[in-house]
Every structure is written in C-alpha cells, then in structure tokens.
Amino acid sequence: MSKKVAVILSGCGVYDGAEIQESVITLLRLDQRGAQVQCFAPNVAQMHVINHLSGEEMPESRNVLTESARIARGNVEDVRTLAVEHFDALILPGGFGVAKNLSNFAVEGANCSVQPDVLAAAQAFAQAGKPIGLICISPALAVKIFGAGVTATLGSSEDPAAAALVSMGGVHEECAVEDVIEDQAHKLVTTPAYMLAQSIAEAASGINKLVDRVLELAQPH
C-alpha cells in the first residue's frame, strides 16, 4: 500500500513564498517513490510580495493558498482541512514563505509564532508519532512544533537561524548539504537544502535523502 504524504507550501517563490525548486524536488521524489501526495497551504495573505528579478517589494497583495496552487498545478487545499488520520507523514519545503507566511520568524526570530492552522496541523503529526520532514529554513519551526529539546539542522551553526533555534530550546547539529539530521525520538528529519546548496543538484541530494527517510519511517495506515 502506498504511503500518503501531506506537503505544506508557503506560496510561490523563494523570497516571499515556497522555494520552487525545493518544492518540486520534494514532489518529484515522493512521486518517484510511489507516495500519494496532497499539497496544503494556509488561506492567508502573504506578508508581502517581492519582485524576484529586482529583489524589491511590490505594492500588491497575494494569497498564500492561491500562490501555492501555482506549484501544485491547482491541486492544493486549505491547511485547516488537513486531517492527520488521512496521512502517514508531513513535509515542509523551505523558502522565505516559511519565515514570513507560515510564521513570523523572519521578523521575530526566536520570539516567533507559527500561523495557527499550520501549527495545529504539524503538531497533530508530532502528537500522532508520524514522521515530519523539514527542509531548508523550515527546521526553524521545530521547537514550536515539538517543544524544547528537539534536534534539527539549518546547515551551519554559524547561521543566525541556527542560533535562534538554540535560543528557543532546540539542539542544532551541523549538516552537509547532501545529508540529513534525524531526531529519532521525534521522528523528525531535516536537511539544509538551499541554506547551503549552490545548485539545484546539491539541493536535491539532501532532499531526496530526506524524502526517502521520511517514507521509511512512515507506517501506512
């Protein structure tokens, strides 16, 4: 029986939403491994909209769920409808949308809060003992999901995001771009991806390993 995986997206585009390459690599690997996938996103306004050509903020508003549909080819649902009992695992790709739309980590750092619907969904997987994969900047939310003592990676311990994770009560482990860090007690798998990657192939090397491990940990229901 194929395993069912929920993927939470945070918009469309590295600077204000989900990192497109990380998201596509994740979805591709899940499909290659025969998993059934459903994408989700919160039905909220983006923190802001960034011109990805110039890096400048644009005077407009966009919706995270609507933008995530660009990556999911329209097949994305409101995260508040995510029922943990229908899935075997959860994965969050990275991108600044994680720190801007799924949480306010980009502004508040260690004092951040997670968007309520996203937090409820992720905590449901944690409480059910189902594996979670957090990619790139997503591990910054690990303590909010699992509580103090959880181990994760953001790549280099010199990264300010790693310091924030530690100050929240998490344990940070350094990790090469092609590898993963697993917290066995929490069934959490993390990988740096574009926190360290210099190419799409480098990002894929760790993400593929994360997806494979999350599927190994998942118990089909």
Tokens of 11: 């918009």
Tokens of 104: 């306010």
Residues marked active site are found at: 136
Tokens of 170: 């998490």
SS (H, E, C) the chain: CCCEEEEECCCCCCCCCCCHHHHHHHHHHHHHCCCEEEEEECCCECCCEECCCCCCEECCCCEHHHHHHHHCCCCEEEHHHCCHHHCCEEEECCCHHHHHCCECHHHHHHHCCECHHHHHHHHHHHHCCCCEEEECCHHHHHHHHHCCCCEECCCCCCCHHHHHHHHCCCEECCCCCCCCEEECCCCEEEECHHHCCCCHHHHHHHHHHHHHHHHHHCCCC
Tokens of 63: 């919706």
The rounded distance, in Å, linking the Cα atoms of 118 and 101 is 10
